[in-house]
Structure 1
Amino acid sequence: MKKYLGILVTALLLSACSNDDWRTASREPAGIAPNPKEVSEAVIEFYAADAFSWRGWFAVHSWVATKEKGASEYTVYEVTGWRVKRGLPALYEYKTSTPDRYWFGSKPEKVLSITGIKAEALIPKITSAVARYPWANEYTVFPGPNSNTFPTWVGLQVPELGLDMPFSAIGSGYADNDE
């Protein structure tokens, strides 16, 4: 019996490590964000998707997207470690019409979605919080700061969001370490 258990564990580990290369993993839109060309109202979305490869068994990667009223694109804010390794800030901001792209093969889920007048009122507060993020140039997988520390910190700065991060948002507790 031990032999079969060992084979099963080995097969599971090998299958987790044989995922597609990150360069070929899906980055397609998940189709869960309001289309900015069809929805004129303001939108706030927080997303989380399983981390790449075996890390997804334990943790998620999370990010924030906002769309001003009447805007044709979202502004996405996220933190990634590979940017720091390249001498760039961990915090990255970009414009896109598809803020709900797969996270290297993993379909995102909405952690929070706010639309309309409430979103309109909260977007300037989010933008201000992003500008004050204390670890914009840092990334540490554990205990943080990392991709989950960032949205959690924004949620702490803008409590009206009512953000409740998933349990697997490892590093979200680091946000309480605001300097």
Structure 2
Amino acid sequence: MRRFLRLNAYVFVLLFALPLGAHALVQWHGVDWTKNWRTADWSSTGTLPPAAQSPPALVRIYAARVGHWRSIFAVHSWIVFKERGADAYERYDVVGWSGAPIRHNMRAPDARWYGNEPDVVFTASGEEAERLIPRLRAAIASYPYAGYGDYRIWPGPNSNTFVAHVVEQVPEMAVALPSTAIGKDFPVDGDWVGLAPSRTGLRLTLDGYAGLTLAWVEGIELNMFGAVVGIDLRRPGIKLPGFGRIGI
């Protein structure tokens, strides 16, 4: 028993503690943690063309590092789409600030988050996007944690829980959220065993605090207190706590 516990401790340090410590050092030297909500840069990155000048429909999922020391661990994700011929994009986030969690057009669609540049997690355009948008609207409307006080930063339901729920309702998107999207494994339906959001495998979760995902799209992911270590099977790579996916 003692040897078993010692082995588990070594595995935890090697797979979780060391990567998080290394990423903390990277963030410490490369990120300004002194910026607060008011002084951070929330401006558009200019990576999306003006909606009125781009007639085709568009769908995107973005993710960007969160603020302060939490950037060591996590990203914030959100959904953007535009109907064909529309003159404006629509953005949906979930936040824990005062008011209802779901926010519509809270920021520019491609804005920085706490000054951090967002990455594109998923994109679709044209006819593909047109098919997805009605289903995205329905999935957003069906999110069960949309009431006052429903938001919980850890282990969820939070912003990443919301986007994971939408992805699960529209599995043909075949997208995996970043492994650093803490909260994505919170079971919205309350079930500890079920299909992965992509519907290409299985997910076991202990109410978001720990779990295991085995799926073609998500790959192999071991979740411990929100930190994820894993292997990307579809696009060969590894997933490390703090760093996220590293392609091979």
Task: State the TM-score bracket (shorter-chain normalisation).
Answer: 0.7 to 0.9
Contact kept in structure 1, 2:144 and 2:188, CA below 8 Å:
no
Aligned partner of 1:125 in structure 2 is: 135
CA-CA distance at 1:22 after TM superposition: 1.6
- Give 2:178's aligned amino acid: P
Cα 1:158–1:15 change in 2 (3 A) is closer
Contact 2:77 2:93 in 1 (8 A): yes
Task: Name the structure where strand makes up a greater proportion of residues.
Answer: 2
Q: Tell me the distance in 2 between the aligned counterparts of 1:79 and 1:95.
A: 10
User: Gapped runs of 5+ residues in structure 2?
Assistant: 1-23, 191-248
Partner of 1:89: 100
Is the Cα–Cα contact under 8 Å of residues 75 and 95 in structure 1 kept in the other structure? Answer: no
- Assess if the C-alpha contact under 8 Å between 2:57 and 2:82 holds in 1: yes
Q: Match for residue 69 of structure 1?
A: 84
Q: Name 1:6's counterpart in structure 2.
A: none
Residue 21 (structure 1) aligns with? 36
Q: What is the match of residue 3 of structure 1?
A: none
SS in 2 for 1:78: strand
Offset at 1:24? 1.4
Instruction: Kindly provide the CA deviation profile for residues 2-42 of structure 1, in whole angstroms up to 9, marking residues without a partner as x.
Output: xxxxxxx99x8699674222201111111222431221000
Seen in structure 2, the aligned counterparts of structure 1 residues 17 and 125 have a Cα distance that, compared at 3 Å, is same
Q: C-alpha displacement at 1:142, in angstroms?
A: 1.0
Change (3 A) 1:16 1:34: closer
In the alignment, the residues of structure 2 paired with residue 18 and residue 153 of structure 1 have an alpha-carbon distance, to the nearest angstrom, of 30
Instruction: Give the alignment's Cα RMSD to 1 decimal.
Output: 2.2
- Is 1:79 the equivalent of 2:132? no
Q: Which amino acid aligns with 1:119?
A: A
| In 2, Cα distance between equivalents of 1:18 and 1:128 | 37
Q: Which residue of 1 aligns with 2:170?
A: 158
After TM superposition, give the deviation of residue 72 of structure 1 in Å: 1.0
Partner of 1:104: helix, strand, or coil?
Answer: coil
In structure 2, the partner of 1:31 is: 46
Secondary structure of 1:24's match? coil
Q: How does 1:24-63 map to 2 (within 5 A)?
A: 24-63=39-78
Gapped regions of structure 1 (runs ≥ 5): 1-8
Match of 1:105 in 2: 115
For the structure 1 residues 18 and 64, does the alpha-carbon distance in structure 2 shift closer, same or farther, using more than 3 Å as the test?
closer
> Partners of 1:95 and 1:53 in 2: how far apart?
20
- SS, match of residue 134 in structure 1: coil
Greater helix share, structure number: 1
Q: How many residues align?
A: 164
Secondary structure of 1:177 counterpart? coil
Q: Is the 8 A contact 2:33 2:69 kept in 1?
A: no
Q: In the TM superposition, what is the alpha-carbon distance from 1:164 to its structure 2 partner?
A: 1.0
> Would you say the 8 A contact 2:51–2:86 is kept in 1?
yes
Shift in CA distance, 16/42, structure 1 to aligned 2, threshold 3 Å? closer
Structure-2 change in CA distance of 1:152 and 1:75 (3 Å): same
TM-score normalised by the chain length of structure 2:
0.61
TM-score in terms of structure 1 length: 0.84
1:74–1:99 Cα contact (<8 Å) kept: yes
> Relative contact order (C-alpha < 8 Å, sep 6+): which is higher?
1
